[in-house]
Structures are given as C-alpha cells and as structure tokens.
Chains A and B, each alone.
Chain A
Amino acid sequence: MKLVQIAGYLGSGKTTLILALSKSLSEEGQKVAILVNDVGEVPVDGKVMQEYGLEVKDIGGGCICCQVAGNMRKTLGLLAKNYEPDITIIEPTGIAVPNAIKEALKPEAAKFQITFGPIIVLFDTTRADKFLTYDTLIRLVSTQLKDADIIALNKVDAAPEDKIEYSKESVEGINPDAKIMKLSSRTGQGFEVIVKAVRDFTA
C-alpha cells in the first residue's frame, strides 16, 4: 500500500483535488482509500467524500499530526488489513505538519508493507500575501511547505500572474528542494502532473 499525503493550509483545495484524484486513480484500476481528518470538529469532508462513493475513514477529535496520531496509526492498520488498498490518500487538517504525520506512521510501514508516496502541499496563491506575512501563520505555512516533496501552487486560474510569480519565488525560498508546479482544480491545469506523481513517486 502506498501512502500519499495531500496537505496544505485551510481552504487550499485539498478535498477538491482528492475527489478528482481518487476518481482518476480508480478509473485506472487502482484500489483507493482515503483517510481524512477535520480539525477537531464535527467532520464534514469525510461525509462529503462518502456521498461521492469513495472509501473513506474519518478521524476526528483532534489533529493527526499531534493529538490523535495514535488513532491515525490504528485506523490505518485496520484499513490495510480489512480493505487492502493500493493507494491510501491522507487528507490531514489544514493546520497539520506533514512530516509529523509521516514520522508517526513509520512504525506501521514494515507491519503493513507500506511505502511512502509524495507529500504534496497545496498553496493557495489567491491568499499568498496573508500566508507569507502574518506572524504565526507564516510559521505554520512555512513548516508545511518545508515538508513537501511537491508544492502545488493552487487556484492559479483565480490569481493574477504577479501573485503567482510572487508565490513561486517565495515558496522556492522556503523549500528549494521541492518540485514546484501550478495547479487549478477548476480548469484541470496541472492535474495530470499530480496523478503521475502519485502513481510513480516513491520516497
């Protein structure tokens, strides 16, 4: 089972991308499961994904990068044992730290023959100014970006070109090792690159 994380700050487009990605991978014949975590509240994303016919495990009660990391390990183990997916996509909360999730799952890797796919972090280019200037917000967003294998500059259809360039230069400075790409879930721009990365990338 390959584990893929689609991470990124609140409202960056994770759920929309995962819905499209799951559909595309399923059409290729891959058995896909989704592990979704809403930020300590009454879950919404998992309910929506289930309505679209996807195999979803919802984790509530806190953030899987810290508070409920143990619950995530347990849920993933059950998923691996009972459903045996080829690919499991993790949608963490918008405030989660991706590497903390990966570290928390490493003990399960050998037990359930898990390989780690890419950590894809979405960055909402329409809100770049806030993310890169607001005191504690920049700390969170930078931490997420630093953990990325791939940074998808999302919503490029809705952001002016200068803001996209500003976003690109800024995230390159934060994580020079990540592959940086442009994405629009609305128009489909960049979607095939994401599908290929999920299919082919192994950490």
Chain B
Amino acid sequence: MKPKDVNDLLAPISPVHEGINSYGLSCSVSRQKAIDAEELRKFATELMTAVSSACIKAGAKDIGHIKAYIDHDSGFLHADTVGDAGEVTVAGRDAEPINHFKLVVNSVIYGMTKTAVTNATEASLKTVCLKFGLEKKSKNRRPHES
C-alpha cells in the first residue's frame, strides 16, 4: 500500500480563527418557465440579502462574507455581500433565458455557531426559491467550524 503523502494530511486549525463559522452548499435549481437575465440577477440579490438578514437576526456580530455563484449553459453570475450595510454586488455574463442553473452559496460569519449559519443559509434559500417559483434539486455541503 502506498504511504499517505504528508502534504495531504490536515493540520490543526489556527486559534486565531476562533468565532468564525461557515457553511457552503451547492445545488441544482430549475423552473419550467424560463428565467431571464434580469430576474436571475434579482434572485441573486434577494438571496444575498435574505441570508445576510437572517444571520443578523440570529445574532451575527459581523457578516464576514456571503457569496453565490450561478453557473448555466451560456453564462454565469456571482453575487456577494459583506458587513451589515446590506449592499449586494452582482456581476457576470448574462445570457438568454434559462430553465436550469447550478448554484453555490458560501456563508462565512463571525459570532454565530456552525448550526446557526447552516440554518440561516438553508432557510433563506428555501424562502427565496419559493418566492421565485424555483425548485432546488440536489445539494452537498462541507461545513467548517472553528
């Protein structure tokens, strides 16, 4: 059996990371009625605002960074928000109306437990998807805790 490369081993987490927890998810999203570029940008903006508001409501001391990446056949979008001001930045390459896209959301928050960040992110995604009539199909996640 080949010995494990020392470079593949996980070292302990640095103590200066204390208080910061994160949650990431990726999923497929679809809707029978095609979503145009403007609506997709609106979805991304509302999702960032919803996650940020939910985290603040749940006691976050600082919105470290909430990011989303939307990938589809003919374009992509990325959106993010930081701090408490609620300003959302959306950029990318718009495309023709689409029925499916892949979504990645990454929330990194100071002053919340991992479970709370997870719940705030998942609940906000569910609410915003419902509002836009979108169906979330699959997901995987890799939480980080310090």
Contacts and interface: CB of A to CB of B under 8 A. Distances in A.
Interface of A: 9-11, 38-45, 47-48, 51, 60-63, 65-71, 73-74, 94-95, 97, 100, 124, 126-127, 130, 134-137, 139-140, 143
B65 A10 contact: yes
B3 interface: no
Contact of B8 (A10, A45, A70): A70
Interface of B: 5-14, 16-20, 22-26, 61-65, 67-69, 71, 76, 78, 80, 82-83, 85, 92-93, 104-106, 108, 110, 140-144, 146
Say whether chain B's binding surface is mostly helix, strand, loop, or mixed.
strand
A68 B19 CA distance: 19
B82 A65 contact: no
Contacts of A66: 11-14, 17
Which of B24, B25, B26, B144 has its CB near the most chain A CB atoms (within 10 A)?
A: B144
Which of B23, B110, B140 has its CB near the most chain A CB atoms (within 10 A)?
A: B110
A60 B144 CA distance: 11
Given A10-B65, A39-B108, A41-B142, A48 B18 contact: no
A19 to B, nearest CB: 10
Contacts of A71: 7-8
Given A42-B142, A67-B11, A70-B11, A51 B104 contact: no
Given A39-B106, A47-B71, 18 more contacts: A10-B64, A10-B82, A11-B64, A11-B80, A42-B142, A44-B68, A47-B78, A47-B104, A51-B93, A66-B17, A70-B7, A70-B8, A74-B8, A95-B64, A95-B108, A100-B14, A124-B83, A134-B110
A48 B62 contact: no
A44 B106 contact: yes
A68 B7 CA distance: 8
Contact of A136 (B7, B18, B26, B104): B18
A74 B4 CA distance: 13
A20 B9 CA distance: 34
Contacts of A143: 16
A140 B85 CA distance: 22
Across the A-B interface, the 3 shortest Cβ-Cβ residue pairs: A11-B82, A41-B24, A40-B144
Contacts of B80: 11
23 contacts: A11-B63, A11-B64, A11-B80, A11-B82, A40-B142, A42-B24, A42-B105, A44-B106, A51-B76, A66-B12, A66-B13, A66-B14, A68-B11, A69-B11, A71-B8, A74-B5, A74-B8, A126-B85, A130-B83, A137-B19, A137-B110, A139-B16, A139-B18
Given A39-B108, A42-B24, A140 B78 contact: no
A40 B14 CA distance: 13
Contacts of B143: 40-41
